[in-house]
Amino acid sequence: MDTSFSDDYRKARAKFLDAARGAGAVLSSSGLAQRGPGGIELSTDVAWLGPRTAQAVMVTISATHGVEGFFGSATQTEWLRRAKSAALPEGVAALHIHAINPYGFACLRRTNETNVDINRNWVDFTKALPANTRYDELSQDLCPSDWSEASQAQTGATGTRRSGHLSTSGLRRTMGSSAGPLLWRPRCQLVSTNIDGGTHIEP
């Protein structure tokens, strides 16, 4: 039997689906309207094994951060390939969600097709969004709105300002605090950032 690892999304999906069918899983799929590299179909595929009345369900998810999906996909595929020899306990079911971010998986991106990190998309958007003022001060240096010669020159020229910010605020305060790290707090107002939490719950 070939390895459960794959070197692209298309192969990973094919292996997962084959393994799920071989294990007798009930399959369902939710496709994206957007296509992947070379026009390939993108889909989140779900495999269920065990009774629908199960008292406990083991859930696995791969590719929340799309580019990290290779290991998660291989783990799910290998589990399914061994499912018959590793029977579920009575009253337990398994739910495997493959490529919850198929666009990021196929395009080797952390974020999804709308540039949202879905692992940070858990914010309650019915309430005021969390502020991240120190990131706001650095956002144009880290993620210029365009990549022209002028913006590159400005970004380079403001290197001194960034260094000054670190000197003034301290590395510990700049990169993190008791409220959470500067570069890793949900950034929901700035959808142009390299990693953001979005402006609404992603479907």
> Cα Rg for the chain, rounded, in angstroms?
21
Are 91 and 55 in contact by the 8 Å Cβ rule? The answer is yes
Weakest-pLDDT range from 21-25, 77-81, 155-159, 180-184: 180-184
Query: How far apart are the C-alpha atoms of 128 and 121, rounded to whole Å?
Result: 14
Per-residue pLDDT averaged across 18-39, rounded? Answer: 95
Q: Return the higher-pLDDT residue of 88 and 182.
A: 88
Q: What is the pTM for the complete model shown?
A: 0.74
Are 24 and 93 in contact by the 8 Å Cβ rule? The answer is no
Q: What does the pLDDT look like over 45-84, one tens digit per residue?
A: 999 999 999 999 999 999 999 999 999 999 999 999 998 7
In a 10 Å sphere around its CB, with 0-12 CB exposed, 13-18 middle and 19+ buried, how is residue 144 labelled? Answer: middle
Q: Return the higher-pLDDT residue of 1 and 64.
A: 64
What's the gap between Cα 122 and its chain centre?
Answer: 12
Q: What does the pLDDT look like over 81-90, one tens digit per residue?
A: 998 767 899 9
Per-residue pLDDT averaged across 173-182, rounded? Answer: 44
Strand stretches in 23-151, DSSP E: 26-31, 43-49, 56-61, 92-98
| 182 pLDDT more than 50 | no
Are 27 and 47 in contact by the 8 Å Cβ rule? The answer is yes
Are 30 and 44 in contact by the 8 Å Cβ rule? The answer is yes
| 178 pLDDT more than 50 | no
What is the rounded (10 degree) CA torsion for 189, 192, 194, 198?
Answer: 40
Q: What does the pLDDT look like over 92-117, one tens digit per residue?
A: 999 999 999 999 999 999 989 988 88
Instruction: Give the position of tokens 């998810």.
Output: 61
